[in-house]
Amino acid sequence: MAENGGDAGRGQLSLSFGPVTEKNIEQLRVLNRAIFPINYPERMYKDILAYPDVTHLAYHNDVLVGAIACRLEKTPQGPQLYILTLGVLAPYRGMGAGTALLERCLQSVAANLPEISEAVLHVQVNNEAAIKFYSRFGFEVAETIAGYYKRLDPPDAVLLRRRLQPAAGDGAAA
């Protein structure tokens, strides 16, 4: 479950950003509980701490309003960015925080991890706002996975994928 709601139309928030650390990981846990219908396991938070370059917290007036949490995964096609969560508290949605978090993460990957050639995430099939949000950034539906979510209704997910860098030997721009 990667994004809850979209960014459309209510003006821009002034945001500051920070990394997730052992000292503030509990803030991320509380934020995720407030936003998502899933209680994420402790293992996910350990994974997040291992990838500080691709996990960001967004603050408005020193209040945590959103976060993007990712990890890097090895695949047969090479390393990829997996977006675990991207969420913004309901009162702050539609004000650019989700967009800013996603852009910041993707720019960080491009600048610091050029070997990462794609970003992927799963979204519940009925989360039209999230699918539309990601499509604005070039993500495309790669496949539908039946029964992906064990405790949600509907349980099916779509896998969204976006190419970040040209593949080796591929002269096309990303």
Rounded distance, CA 72 to CA 50, Å? 9
Got the DSSP string for 7-31? --SS-PPP-EEEE--TTTHHHHHHH
Cβ neighbors of 166 (< 8 A, separation 6 or more) are 117, 172, 173, 174
Q: Which of 56, 122, 134, 148 is catalytic?
A: 122
Rounded distance, CA 67 to CA 19, Å? 10
Q: Is 82 a catalytic residue?
A: yes
Q: Is 122 a catalytic residue?
A: yes
Q: Which of 82, 92, 134, 148 is catalytic?
A: 82
Q: Are strands 63-75 and 157-163 parallel, antiparallel or unpaired?
A: unpaired
Q: What are the catalytic residues?
A: 82, 122
